[in-house]
């Protein structure tokens, strides 16, 4: 692994990533940020389209492939398969980002992988899962498909217009987080027992699990969620006197009491009895609250309103842009935005720091996004292959290496 010293709680853990944007590489980068040795196994015949290219900068992939090494090898060729088999034997976890059953079609079923490495944790991330109706299992999926099929998209947007996908790519990121949860839980058990596990993450199921109240409300009452249907006053986005937007969430007995105090609304009263948790829209209490809130916000800048509400214990925040975040003292104090050295030159790239933060075994950004195949020789040498063998594999198209981040 060159000059890169071990770090983080996952040092000594090796993860193989057979995946393209976004869920799989994101999950792998989170593991890499915590110290795992992540090896991205890439296809010489099919470049990840989310990587930087002549038409797009690929900034998301620049972050989601940091802290990884790249081996670009055709695992379906006999020579590539021999190298991949050796690599699997050294790994703790494999993350697969293809449609359901694809690895098995390549002769890499769970059972085959466990013959190579009985303790291997295999994490499958797909649109529809590894089991179920075969026609669904084999379907391709992207982020928007996961949102649409799960019912999540139907809840987003405005009531008088077609539903909208949430942005950015929540289905991919939710699935990535579920892969992390399942993968790390399985790894903990595998290290204790020596027996591997197969984790099946479907995008649409990740979205359903994160639909909380709304899916539960339907299943138990038959009530479908309505788009843009906030039930209480004092909840939503408001424009302040300086034209800047502020998001306010006045829910809960204590919060509503505090908001009444800020706005000068008598409390307790007939409209706002002791313990009221929200001012339901359509009631006199809601009309009073909205009228007083409009006057309060209209006479103040968003920052002034935010500070006054926050000081009173009312959850409120200006609707930030990234530029506002960059200038914000709390962002700066926590070092939210950072930079790291590129893997392909002496320059640096700016991005988001390691999240979550650990005190005793912190993660770090040790490597920038590798170019495709950048670590071919390094990894194959670790597996015992000779320079002569790798040279022949380049000539046969089994290996590929790109000279720069854009190919």
Q: How far, in Å, CA of 174 to CA of 200, rounded?
A: 14
Give residue-wise pLDDT tens across range 4-49.
899 999 999 999 999 998 999 999 999 999 999 999 999 999 999 9
CA–CA gap between residue 370 and residue 40 (Å, rounded): 9
DSSP 54: S
For the segment 322-367, what is each residue's pLDDT rounded down to a tens digit? 999 999 999 999 999 999 999 999 999 999 999 999 999 999 999 9
Q: What is the pLDDT of residue 155?
A: 93
Q: Is 161 exposed, middle or buried (0-12, 13-18, 19+ CB in 10 A)?
A: exposed
CA distances from 180 to 22, 28, 190, 322, 342 (A): 14, 8, 15, 27, 26
Class of the domain covering 235-326: alpha beta
**Whose CA is closest to 69, among 17, 120, 34?**
17
Residue 1 has pLDDT above 60, yes or no: no
Q: What is the pLDDT of residues 165-203, one digit of tens each?
A: 999 999 999 999 999 999 999 999 999 999 999 999 999
Res 78 pLDDT > 60? yes
Q: What are the residue boundaries of the structural domains of the chain, listed by start?
A: 14-212+338-395, 235-326
Distance CA 191, CA 222 (A): 44
Catalytic residue (one of 37, 64, 172, 200):
172
For the stretch 107-111, contacts whose Cβ atoms lie closer than 8 Å and that sit 24 or more positions apart, written own/partner, are 107/81, 108/75, 110/198
172 has catalytic annotation: yes
The pLDDT value recorded for residue 2 is 47
Q: How many CB atoms lie within 10 A of CB 374?
A: 23
Q: What is the pLDDT of residue 227?
A: 87
Average pLDDT over residues 100-122: 97
Across 239-259, average pLDDT: 96
DSSP for residue 365: -
Is the pLDDT at 229 greater than 80? The verdict is: no
Q: 23 in helix, strand or coil?
A: helix
Could you tell me whether strands 245-249 and 37-42 are parallel, antiparallel, or unpaired per DSSP bridges?
unpaired
SS3 at position 24: helix
Q: What is the pLDDT of residue 3?
A: 66
Does position 228 have pLDDT exceeding 50, yes or no? yes
Round to whole Å and give the CA distance between 381 and 368. Answer: 22
What is the third-level CATH fold of 14-212+338-395? Rossmann fold (3.40.50)
- Average pLDDT (283-306) is 97
Mean pLDDT of the chain: 96
């Amino acid at each position: 692994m060159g000059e890169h010293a071990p770090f983080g709680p996952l040092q000594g853990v090796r993860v193989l990533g057979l995946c393209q944007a976004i869920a799989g590489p994101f999950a792998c980068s989170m593991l890499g940020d915590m110290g795992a040795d992540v090896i991205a196994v890439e296809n010489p015949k099919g470049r990840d389209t989310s990587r930087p290219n002549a038409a797009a900068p690929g900034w998301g992939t620049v972050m989601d492939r940091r802290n990884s090494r790249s081996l670009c090898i055709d695992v379906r060729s006999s020579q590539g398969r021999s190298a991949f088999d050796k690599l699997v034997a050294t790994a703790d976890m494999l993350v697969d980002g293809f449609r359901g059953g694809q690895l098995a079609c390549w002769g890499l079923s769970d059972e085959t992988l466990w013959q190579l490495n009985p303790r291997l944790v295999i994490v499958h991330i797909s649109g529809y899962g590894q089991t179920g109706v075969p026609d669904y299992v084999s379907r391709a999926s992207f982020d928007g498909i996961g949102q649409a099929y799960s019912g999540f998209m139907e809840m987003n947007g405005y009531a008088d217009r077609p539903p909208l996908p949430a942005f950015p790519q929540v289905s991919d990121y939710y699935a990535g987080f579920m892969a992390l949860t399942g993968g790390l839980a399985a790894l903990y058990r595998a290290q204790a027992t020596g027996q591997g596990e197969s984790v099946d993450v479907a995008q649409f199921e990740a979205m359903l699990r994160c639909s909380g109240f709304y899916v539960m409300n339907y299943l138990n009452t038959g009530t479908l969620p309505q788009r843009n249907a906030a039930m209480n006053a004092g909840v939503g986005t408001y424009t302040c006197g300086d034209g800047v937007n502020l998001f306010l969430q006045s829910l809960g007995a204590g919060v509503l009491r505090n908001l009444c105090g800020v706005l000068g609304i008598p409390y307790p009263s007939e409209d706002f009895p002791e313990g009221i948790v929200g001012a339901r829209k359509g009631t006199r209490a809601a009309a009073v609250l909205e009228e007083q809130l409009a006057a309060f916000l209209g006479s103040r800048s968003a920052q002034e309103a935010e500070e006054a509400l926050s000081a009173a214990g009312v959850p409120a925040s200006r609707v930030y842009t990234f530029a506002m975040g960059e200038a914000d003292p709390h962002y700066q104090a926590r070092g939210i935005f950072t930079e790291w050295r590129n893997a392909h030159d002496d320059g640096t790239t700016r991005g988001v720091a390691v999240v979550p933060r650990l005190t005793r075994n912190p993660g770090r950004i040790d490597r920038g996004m590798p170019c495709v195949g950048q670590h071919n020789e390094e990894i194959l040498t670790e597996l015992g292959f000779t320079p002569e063998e790798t040279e022949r594999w380049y000539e046969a198209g089994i290996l590929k290496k790109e000279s720069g981040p854009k190919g």
